């Protein structure tokens, strides 16, 4: 039996996953967590075979949490579920230590397959994301787009900026100061090679990080 911990800040989504996976004879959702702090506490108290982890949550993001997860649970399979396109974000997730990456609009059959794959110690990516990762591996770092060089926190803040969220609101959602958000924004613009938020949005649309 594959024991699963679902980590997502949306109650309806967690409930939907629990109901979906309840039909599978070889897996069950043993517990749920709303944020990274709750996830780490539950991982320390109980044993799980797979963690289904949302990339972006209020406060500390799933990506930012991976160093802590890997430090305490180095062999625990973590499958990221996200609304962000896999072909652009999967590389960041794997570098952070994820076992796999799926978008939340994936078919239920693919999710179930992915869970079984990572539970067996393998990695899972959609075919599109896998092809892109292979091309980047063959091409080397010079062929990677600039946003793949961002840190986990920089990625999260970039995504929030291009969604039109103010720096003040970003700080509130991530529990960090506006000054920290502002300095991070400056680093993002420098790494991407753009001068302002409008150019950052155009970059995000052009690279299919968000849909225009």
What does each of the 212 residues of the chain score in pLDDT, given as a tens digit? 999 999 999 999 999 999 999 999 999 999 999 999 999 999 999 999 999 999 877 777 888 888 889 989 999 999 999 887 666 677 778 878 899 999 888 899 999 999 999 999 999 987 666 656 655 554 455 567 788 788 878 888 898 898 899 999 988 878 889 999 999 999 999 999 999 999 999 998 888 776 55
- Listed in order, strand segments (DSSP E) in the chain are 2-7, 27-33, 50-54, 78-82, 100-103
Same domain, residue pair 44 and 109: yes
Residue 59 lies in a domain: yes
Instruction: Say which residues have a Cβ less than 8 Å from residue 167's Cβ, sequence separation at least 6.
Output: 161, 178, 181, 182, 185
Residue 35 sits in the same domain as residue 102: yes
- 54, 151: one domain: no
- Has residue 212 been placed in a domain? no
Q: What is the pLDDT of residue 137?
A: 53
DSSP 183-194: HHHHHHHHHHT-
**Are 9 and 96 part of one and the same domain?**
yes
> What CATH number is given to the structural domain containing 185?
1.10.10.10
CATH assignment of the domain containing 27:
3.40.50.2300
In a domain, 90, yes or no: yes
Does residue 102 lie in a domain region? yes
Residue ending a domain, choose from 89, 122, 138: 138
Query: Residue 211: inside a domain, yes or no?
Result: no
Looking at the fold, whether 10 and 103 belong to one and the same domain comes out as yes
Phi, psi angle pair for 33, to nearest 5°: -140, 145
Q: Give the residue from 90, 108, 138 where a domain finishes.
A: 138
Query: pTM of the predicted model, to two decimals?
Result: 0.73
Stretch (H or E) spanning 61: none
Which domain range does residue 124 map to?
Answer: 2-138
Q: Which residues contact 188 (CB under 8 A, 6 or more apart)?
A: 150, 154, 157, 158, 161, 200
Shared domain for 7 and 52, answered yes or no, is yes
Give the span between the Cα atoms of 39 and 8, in whole angstroms: 9
pLDDT at 114: 95
Q: Is 180 among the domain residues?
A: yes
In-domain check, residue 107: yes
CA dist 41 → 2, 168, 183 (Å) = 20, 29, 31
Token pair listed for 82: 């996200």
Question: Do 132 and 156 share a domain, yes or no?
Answer: no
Last residue of a domain, one of 138, 167, 192: 138
Q: Is residue 63 part of a domain?
A: yes
- Number of domains observed in the structure of the chain: 2
């Amino acid at each position: 039996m594959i024991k699963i911990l679902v980590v997502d800040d949306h109650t309806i989504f967690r409930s939907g996953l629990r109901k979906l996976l309840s039909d599978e004879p070889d897996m069950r959702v043993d517990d749920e967590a709303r944020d990274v702090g709750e996830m780490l506490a539950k991982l320390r108290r109980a044993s799980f075979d797979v963690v289904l982890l949302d990339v972006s949550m209020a406060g500390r993001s799933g990506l930012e949490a991976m160093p802590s997860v890997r430090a305490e649970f180095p062999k625990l399979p973590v499958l990221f579920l996200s609304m962000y396109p896999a072909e652009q974000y999967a590389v960041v997730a794997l570098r952070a230590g994820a076992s796999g990456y799926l978008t939340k609009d994936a078919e239920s059959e693919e999710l179930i397959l992915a869970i079984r794959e990572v539970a067996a110690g393998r990695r899972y990516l959609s075919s599109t994301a896998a092809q892109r990762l292979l091309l980047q591996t063959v091409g080397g770092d010079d062929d990677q787009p600039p946003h793949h060089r961002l840190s986990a926190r920089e990625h999260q803040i970039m995504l929030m900026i291009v969604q039109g969220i103010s720096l003040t609101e970003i700080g509130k959602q991530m529990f960090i100061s506006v000054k920290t958000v502002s300095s991070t924004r400056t680093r993002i613009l420098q790494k991407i090679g753009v001068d302002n938020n409008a150019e950052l949005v155009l970059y995000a649309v052009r690279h299919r990080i968000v849909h225009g």
